[in-house]
Structure 1
Amino acid sequence: MRKNIVDILKGKFLINEDAFKNWKFIIFLSLLALIMISSAHSADKKVHKIAQINNEVKELRSEFVAVRSNLMKIKMESKVVNQLEKKGLKPSENPPFKIVIKSKTPQ
């Protein structure tokens, strides 16, 4: 048992007659490890990209809410009246009325 462990530590399994099988397996494991590492890096990049996009969405949403509330303030009747008074227009003192035209031809 001890001899087997010492042989593995010395690397004798890489230089004996069946070494070609061992080398194929080692190369396969190395390629598999490289694929796993690249996959992990790709996943990390995607996670960072998602976090960045989520931050942009939050910023745009808060900007949208601020602009919408500002628009609601601007659209208030008192603000519109103040802006029009600066230009010389005043609200009508008489309420609007409906004009009804009666046709002469019966239908």
Structure 2
Amino acid sequence: MPHKKQAAPTKKAARLKKPTKNIIALHYLMTRSLNKKEAAALYWETALPTTISELHHKHGLEFEKAREPSRPRPDGGVSHFTRYTLKESSKAKARALLGQYQMPEGLK
């Protein structure tokens, strides 16, 4: 069977970078808020607070943070998670940053 040639990547696609964990988190944060448990389920994120901190300090993005209870623990206590939401005032900057990366098909 003859080997099919693949089309050469466009110039723009060739310039786009592979997304990092922080960029994948930002992709999701453009349309929804996240807490640590949700991020782990979506894309295997294990350090969401660090990711949020890096996005803030390296790129100047601003986030709203809200503490929310999780289900009760076996000892009767309640665990809490922080829910992160990208502020509207940071969305234009975030869109520009995301535009530098080639997102995997499953994330589009």
- Which TM-score band applies after superposition, normalised by the shorter structure? under 0.3
Higher percent of residues as helix: 1
Task: Give the number of the structure whose alpha-carbon radius of gyration is greater.
Answer: 1
Higher percent of residues as strand: 2
Q: Which has the higher contact order (CA 8 A, sep 6+)?
A: 2
Give the TM-score normalised by structure 1.
0.18
